[in-house]
Structure 1
Amino acid sequence: MNQKLYLLFIFVSLKSFSQVENSKAKQDSIKKEELNEIVITASRRSENFMHSPISIEQLKSAEAKKMGSPSIYEALENVKGVQIITPSLGFKVINTRGFANSTNVRFAQLVDGIDNQAPHLGAPIANALGANDLDIDKIEIIPGTAAALYGMNAINGLANIQTKNPFEYEGVSIQQLTGVNHVGNIDRFSPKIYSQFNLRFAKAFNQKFAFKINASTTGGTDWVADDRTDLAPNANISTNLSGADNPAYDEVNGYGNESANRKTLNLNGKNYVVARTGYRETDITDYDIKNYKADVGFYFRPKTGNELAVTYKTALINTIYQRSNRFRLDDYTLNQVAVDYHTPIFQVKAYATTENTGNSYNLRSLAENMDRAYKSDDKWFADYTTAYKNAITNGAAIADAHKIARTTSDQGRFEPGTEAYENKENELININNWDIGAALRVKSTLVHGEGLINWDKAFASFFEKIETKLLSGLDYRNYIIVPDGNYFINPVSASKNLTYQKTGAFTQVTKDFLGSKLRLGATIRMDKADYFEAKFTPQFTAVYSPKESLNFRASYQNGYRFPSIFEGFSNVNSGGVKRVGGLRIMSDGIFENSYTKASIDKFQAQVNSDVNTLGLTQAQAIEKNKNTIQKNPYTYLEPEFVKSFEIGFRGMALNKNLFIDADFYYNSYKNFIAQVEASIPNTTDPNLFPTSLYSRTTQSRYRLWTNSKSKIYNYGGSLGLKYRFDNTFSALTNVTYTKLDRTDDKDGLEDGFNTPEFNVNGTLIAENIWKNFGASATARYQNNFDYVSFLVSGTVPAYWSMDAQINYNFQKSGIKAKLGGTNILNKPYTSILGGPAIGGLYYLSLTWETSKI
């Protein structure tokens, strides 16, 4: 759908608003839903939603059930300012305000204030350890930095999933959702069944004791990633070999033919870049999704306002996961135990999350080492050279000779689907060394403790007199990684676990002026992490409310993000390239003695071109172009830093049945944590450096975590409207604009902005149309955008899609039926490059709930 149709949609909606302004049926008005709503995430204390000092979005479970999305987590795609990317049917990633990626360590995700990240990643694996649909009350989202209050990993935003307390929400709930996807021959699969089962049981024995149990299972067939675009289209352009004739052909979702698997061969006086054949993802991975999660909680209220909660969560994940490579997560487990005690005056909380990657494996490493398992690189390229020369001698054309050489060299290759392939695959995915295997074997633990104190509650009379509120908090976190010898090592002691600790504290003061019409706030936070000096993060806010239904806000804040475990400490050998954490303790000496891969690639291409077009010898071409090689200008990691300024408005209009929420922000970033590839020549003679760097076999290659030297600026805004026509019809619509402004000192190492400029969606909801029937339809559009990652860079095409549902409430039985679909027109789209094509999902959901036990 083009943008004109969306503008028409908004225009028609607004026109309808004015036509029904004086309707007498508006008894269930937006006023009740918005003016009295309480949120806790924006300020870490309960406050009126309308008076929030920073932008905060929320999606209530009741509202999400009226949408076409099968779950509330997926319905977040309809929330103002939220971008959802989909690396897998079982793995969706939330982001706000730009710089998105499939790991997204800049956006934090909490459940009841408890971080549910996978420790070694520093980011959540979607909603794997989150609550199931039946237990979610609502989700609050801060779009933009929340670092002053939440510290690490929240400079892009934060989501807090709030669950239902068993004291307030007793009963039994059972939900079975059965659907079908892969409809209409959109990929290699025929239609497949998708199933999700959710259970919730909650019981309050009396006013002091309660407990709840939740369980969820999800099964189906994942979306397929099969992009065959050539990532090296110009590798042999000087020999007029391109397209299907390109011997360096490297398709996006083909692995084992990347730069590490290519070699320059001199064949009959010409230099050709040749890649090994590799394997397509569709041939070597398991697309089955089998995810399970459960949690149990015990709750004790010794007196009114005081509550102790002890919870345990577990998750078992089997799905596809995307980072700089694509991974198959098999028997990946997360476990979390938490203790939370809060009173009106203070709160203390402690939790531990353990992670075990189980039998997971790297698809690229599997493909690379499957090729090497039947024939080494040296042997394969030698066979290729011989076969090519023989083909030319026998009169074959150049392009045909390359194809003959490949077919000859591939003889004996393990073919997917054969018993020999299956046996070798089982062997490789259990070898924890990516130079010869593919296993991902990480065991890690996150331990966190924090405390909050409301000074204005502890000394109520004093703070009431000065109309001031004061909140302080302290937190401690420790990441503990078991060295596995491949992904992580302990550079200090191989016999001890690797640890990475961080401590933070903040104080927030707010004061009312002008008869509580003006509220000013200030927060100062300090964070200290291992290997870094203490960093201070301020936040200043102002809310002006001339009327209950008119609220203007402004804020300025800074934010830091400290490197995650894998950015700071990774130690991975993969295909002859070693990925090394950017802390000095991991990469000492590499930065100072290496040369950038970008300049080496340019140097090698110029040498090949001069050999092929000017008739120079290889030695002459190396001498001619040696000054192209550039020393690595980067150095050891520092925290990322953002400055953010925001203004906004939240209010009511049209007899308080139209809710309006608008915001505008401007951000500046520096020290973006990114990766640079560099090599050290395997010689001590400076005169031989160029010759050594021409061949990948005579250099040590690294991928290093470092900071971009660029300063990056972006801005944007969003507008959200909610309107209730009457007791039956309501409409939601929003538009989000996100723009990369400029980049100063551009060094090519900036993290990808990876965000559409325009994102528009609108939903029309009808409740109780006739005899307990309801329905809704959602239209969604985003424009094309540039996507940059280590897996692939290019343009994500624009797309539009529609979700819809109809529902019926069987009041006597307590069963609610919902028949719906996402992307109901089944027009496949991709949300990120390298990811899957997403088609339609059609489902029937049956939910039975009772408060009687």
Structure 2
Amino acid sequence: MKKNYYLFLTLLFLLLQAAPLLAQDAAVTVSGIVQTDAGEPLPGATVFVKGTFIGSSTDREGRFQLRADFSEPPVVLSVSFVGYETREVSLPQPDNAVQVTLKVNATLTSEVIASASRVQEGILQAPVTVEKLNTQQVERIPTADLQVGLNHYKGIDVNGSSLLMNSLSTRGFNSAKSERLIQLTDYFDTQSPSLNVNAGNLTGLSELDVESIEIIHGPASALYGANAFNGVLLLNSKDPFVTEGLSVRVRGGQRSFFDGQVRYAQKLGEKFAFKVVGSYLTADDWLASNYAATSTLVERRNNAEGSSLGYDAVNRYGDVPNTFTANQPLPGGVSPELVGKTVFMPGFTEQALIGDDDKARSLKVHPTLSYLLTSSIKMTAGFNYSRGTSTYQSSSRYRFKDFGTNQFHGEIKGARWFLRGQSVQDFGANSYDMNFLGSFLQTAPVADGSTVRNVDQYFGTYNGAYKQARSTGATPEQAQAVAQTQANATQLDPNGARFQELRSQIINDATPGRGARLNPSSLLNEGNAQYNLPLAEGTDLIVGAAYRKFRLGSNGNLYSDDDARIQNREMGGYAQLTQKLLDERLKLAVAGRVDAFKNFDAAFSPRASVVYSAGASKQHNFRASYGRAFRSPTQLDQYIRLDVGQVLLLGNVGNGFQGYTTGAATQATIVSAQANPAVLTPFEYSAAALKLERLSTYEAGYKGTLGEKLALDVNYYQSYYNDFIGAQRFVGNRDGSRPTPTQLLTALQTPQPFQGATSPTRILQAWTNASQEVRTRGAAVGASYSVAQPLTLTANYSLNVLDKSNLPDNFQSFFNTPKHKYNVGVNGLVNSRLSYAVNYRWAQGHLYELPFAVGELADYSSVDAYVGYAIPQFYTTLQAGGSNLLDATNTQVYGGPNIGRLVFVGLQVDIK
């Protein structure tokens, strides 16, 4: 753990030691007022000395004050405010009566971004599809999790597996863990090192500290490296030098919802500034309750829903199966009529397993210290403490309880360069696997000291009751119903003392094969640097490099790390050359990055783009680009070793696997193979060790304004995926070898065929590369029309299509994306006090595939709204809002919960 502090302490030491070495700036005070063209003050406008980090923001009366160096005049002030055009004011000498008037820019087309090209540029001239949300738009998001509200914007899909566990995707292949889109906070990766999970905003910024959000659509590996595959999400925090003062927000509402946030920032003289941000959120979590039969792609022996033999339900845990065999040791022997039939115990609901642990919680504390080494060199060191409780879904449903991260990060940044580093450690704390919990409840002894297990009692009762009913003249179907009723009566009572005793025992036990506790604790250390080198007028070159190292730890209950932490590393370097021509109307850019890995061959990611700006004020911007990206298999894909009962999940970075398709796992086939092994030949299966997944995308688009009121953004893309990474189930040996007919027969004849912690032959699941090329295409259009400042109309539509023409039947693509999706909304600011936003979202139902569950989602929709009323004399804004106000169907993940209505009221206080 001490190693986690090295980066933080080193940066802090350098920061303090640098102070006496600095030359004194020849700075004097500049002050003034920023107002609208109607003469109204603009509180919260930012004022920067261009080319430096010297800045401030205006107070309630629109006034500002800062210090500037006039040794080489003129000094240029850059003044900006959300919804207004940015202005630059040139001062030949000090001035304490500066007056700046900003003109309304309702279409927000003067926004500046840095994510698309890793240098600042106007959003209209970005070479790829990118979205930006400003502070006001963030404030109006009415959902409990900040990132959920991003599904109001074109091309962005949010998958919610609980209240606070949400993942973002663009351009398809959605999942509950956002594995093809990277998430950054101030350019620092926020993923959990153990699970490679981007847990919504559970470990991200508190909304009070969000300055802006930028989302890149499509491949970005050329500048961001591995897994910037389908996009990048960047959260930018507020600078304590610029946004000072105290902000407090408190909200409360339905489902025992409470959200409290505080931010305090202060400059200490002209060189030092600090901020402390904290937040706490709690509410009744959304629980899943889908009791349809689990797909046979997940549980191959499953019976139909409602079967008197029982069945495995999606959101029941502990639906333990038993395929009766003639030699199974049961009292009185097995009924011959049950031999070969699979009977399922009824598992436990999510509510029963979670019990009183049904609260979603998030606690975040983020202190930061910044220091100006010079006016154009800034140093920042910070610590992020994050803990949360909610439910996550992937190979199972996991209850993340007190799950969190400690992140130490530091940055030294100049006008054209930066150095960044961070160390992150995550903690599973009291988290547990609900499938394990349900299964181990069933396999526990019926009482302390007993050798009879609950599962033995259940199937013994079923068998005995079935034989008794048949002996009295019942039909097989009637006998099954009687047997099921009598066996169900032996099931543990979730309200009983024995259930509660076992539940506590299993949840707190991390022993593989016995306990459900999930307590990985892994580390991620990384550093990166970049330099921007202007070569000539209109020509710029940026170069950069990055390194990261994972140290995975789970004590053998998630990874194959029995003896020591697993170490994995990757590094890369990139460059981008930009050329502006034709009076800066034509911008050409080429970028490339090379990355090297411990387990995979090196990868090269190029990107080429062209942007042409037409119109008198360059308001019409046409873009085209080609990008190639790659996805490194997650740490779980590479190193997992997790036994979930009916299947053993194994990583695939060794020598691959040899085995048979699951179609070979039938009694007739295996018995026949004893005399004639050639019977198995058609079922042979081979999987090579994992490779990088590769993506090539062609994109064209337009972004601009039509008049002063209408803004339009349109894009079309075609993508080609090769070496597509997906999960594959097959029959094999743990060591990767192909089972012999004898091994298959032995595995078939166990009480739970192809199961058992010590059985060498199992149903395995490993991540492999598909040989088929997977093709997708899509388009998105977004428009906003400003009728007046009090009323802006917005609409967007997204199309995402999976081309199945070259894919074999039953190919699992995990595309998980609605073909059609749209949003319509209105928002505005009335009388500078009343702000509001209303949005209706609709998405078409579609197939959703995860290792945990596979099934069809119905169409889903949501009406979300926010209203705020400012009372300036009390520095207060009254707020109210709600998500899914009509309580419509809103299930975004198959096997996940329906995200229902959540309404809140609250207030926000801002004192500068």
Q: Displacement of 1:774 after TM fit?
A: 3.4
Residue matched to 1:389: 467
CA distance in 2, matches of 1:571, 1:690: 21
1:148 to 206, 209, 222: 222
> Which letter does structure 1 place at the counterpart of 2:350?
E
Aligned CA distance change for structure 1 residues 726 and 411 (closer, same or farther; 3 Å): closer
SS of 1:642's equivalent in the other structure is strand
Residue matched to 1:612: none
SS of 2:216's equivalent in the other structure is strand
2:586 to 508, 518, 528: 518
Answer yes or no: is the 8 Å Cα contact 2:524–2:548 preserved in 1: yes
Listed as ranges, the matches of 1:336-735 within 5 Å are 336-374=407-445, 375=453, 377=455, 380-410=458-488, 412-456=490-534, 463-465=535-537, 467-490=538-561, 494-547=562-615, 548-575=618-645, 577-584=647-654, 588=655, 591-592=657-658, 594-597=659-662, 599-600=663-664, 603=666, 626-627=679-680, 630-653=683-706, 655-680=707-732, 686-688=740-742, 691-692=745-746, 694-695=748-749, 696-697=753-754, 699-735=761-797
Query: 1:121 aligned to 2:121?
Result: no
> Which letter does structure 2 place at the counterpart of 1:785?
H
Q: Displacement of 1:65 after TM fit?
A: 2.7
Aligned CA distance change for structure 1 residues 234 and 387 (closer, same or farther; 3 Å): farther
Aligned CA distance change for structure 1 residues 149 and 714 (closer, same or farther; 3 Å): same
> Which letter does structure 1 place at the counterpart of 2:632?
F
SS of 1:414's equivalent in the other structure is coil
Answer yes or no: is the 8 Å Cα contact 1:236–1:248 preserved in 2: no
Q: Displacement of 1:119 after TM fit?
A: 0.6
> Which letter does structure 2 place at the counterpart of 1:702?
L
Instruction: Considering fraction of residues, name the structure with more helix.
Output: 1
Q: For each residue in 1:753-776, what CA deviation from the matched residue of structure 2 results, as whole angstroms up to 9, or x when unmatched?
A: 10001110011113216x833333
2:403 to 332, 340, 356: 332
Q: For each residue in 1:680-717, what CA deviation from the matched residue of structure 2 results, as whole angstroms up to 9, or x when unmatched?
A: 37999945466446442573332212112221000111
Q: Displacement of 1:322 after TM fit?
A: 1.1
Q: Displacement of 1:621 after TM fit?
A: 13
CA distance in 1, matches of 2:186, 2:301: 59
SS of 2:552's equivalent in the other structure is strand
Answer yes or no: is the 8 Å Cα contact 2:106–2:789 preserved in 1: no
Residue matched to 1:263: 323
CA distance in 1, matches of 2:297, 2:209: 53
Q: For each residue in 1:450-484, what CA deviation from the matched residue of structure 2 results, as whole angstroms up to 9, or x when unmatched?
A: 1101122xxxxxx234x210000100000011240
Q: Which moved more, 1:800-809 or 1:338-347?
A: 800-809
CA distance in 1, matches of 2:496, 2:178: 38
> Which letter does structure 2 place at the counterpart of 1:662?
V
Moved beyond 6 Å, runs of 4+: 25-30, 233-239, 618-625, 681-685
Percentage identity across paired residues of the two chains = 24
Answer yes or no: is the 8 Å Cα contact 2:637–2:767 preserved in 1: yes
Answer yes or no: is the 8 Å Cα contact 2:393–2:852 preserved in 1: no
TM-score by length of 2: 0.81
SS of 1:98's equivalent in the other structure is coil
Aligned CA distance change for structure 1 residues 234 and 793 (closer, same or farther; 3 Å): closer
Q: Displacement of 1:179 after TM fit?
A: 1.1
Answer yes or no: is the 8 Å Cα contact 2:673–2:680 preserved in 1: no
Residue matched to 1:280: 349
Q: Which moved more, 1:774-783 or 1:755-764?
A: 774-783
Query: 1:296 aligned to 2:367?
Result: yes
Residue matched to 1:10: none
Answer yes or no: is the 8 Å Cα contact 2:609–2:624 preserved in 1: yes
SS of 1:370's equivalent in the other structure is helix
2:286 to 217, 220, 223: 223
SS of 1:516's equivalent in the other structure is coil
Q: Displacement of 1:160 after TM fit?
A: 0.2
Aligned CA distance change for structure 1 residues 114 and 236 (closer, same or farther; 3 Å): closer
Unaligned ranges ≥5, structure 2 = 1-83, 86-100, 327-334, 446-452
CA distance in 2, matches of 1:232, 1:37: 47
SS of 2:804's equivalent in the other structure is strand
Select the structure with the greater relative contact order (CA < 8 A; seq sep ≥ 6). Answer: 1
Aligned CA distance change for structure 1 residues 730 and 289 (closer, same or farther; 3 Å): same
Size of the alignment, in residue pairs?
A: 784
Q: For each residue in 1:31-90, what CA deviation from the matched residue of structure 2 results, as whole angstroms up to 9, or x when unmatched?
A: 465342110000111111111111111111212334544564332111111111110111
CA distance in 2, matches of 1:526, 1:541: 18
Residue matched to 2:115: 41
1:211 to 274, 288, 304: 274
> Which letter does structure 2 place at the counterpart of 1:200?
R
1:782 to 839, 843, 857: 843
CA distance in 2, matches of 1:412, 1:379: 7
Residue matched to 1:105: 179
Aligned CA distance change for structure 1 residues 400 and 438 (closer, same or farther; 3 Å): farther
Residue matched to 1:772: 833
Residue matched to 2:377: 306
CA distance in 2, matches of 1:685, 1:811: 75
SS of 2:222's equivalent in the other structure is helix
> Which letter does structure 1 place at the counterpart of 2:556?
G
Query: 1:159 aligned to 2:221?
Result: no
Q: Which moved more, 1:618-627 or 1:141-150?
A: 618-627
SS of 1:302's equivalent in the other structure is strand
Q: Displacement of 1:620 after TM fit?
A: 11
Q: Displacement of 1:431 after TM fit?
A: 2.0
Q: Displacement of 1:334 after TM fit?
A: 0.6
> Which letter does structure 2 place at the counterpart of 1:272?
K
Aligned CA distance change for structure 1 residues 742 and 325 (closer, same or farther; 3 Å): same
CA distance in 2, matches of 1:220, 1:779: 24
Answer yes or no: is the 8 Å Cα contact 1:366–1:425 preserved in 2: yes
2:314 to 219, 242, 252: 252
Q: Displacement of 1:402 after TM fit?
A: 2.2
> Which letter does structure 2 place at the counterpart of 1:334?
T
CA distance in 2, matches of 1:774, 1:430: 48
Residue matched to 1:89: 163
Aligned CA RMSD, in angstroms, stands at 2.9
> Which letter does structure 2 place at the counterpart of 1:226?
S
> Which letter does structure 1 place at the counterpart of 2:415?
P
2:259 to 196, 207, 227: 196
CA distance in 2, matches of 1:573, 1:774: 52
CA distance in 2, matches of 1:110, 1:669: 24
Query: 1:742 aligned to 2:804?
Result: yes
Query: 1:759 aligned to 2:821?
Result: yes
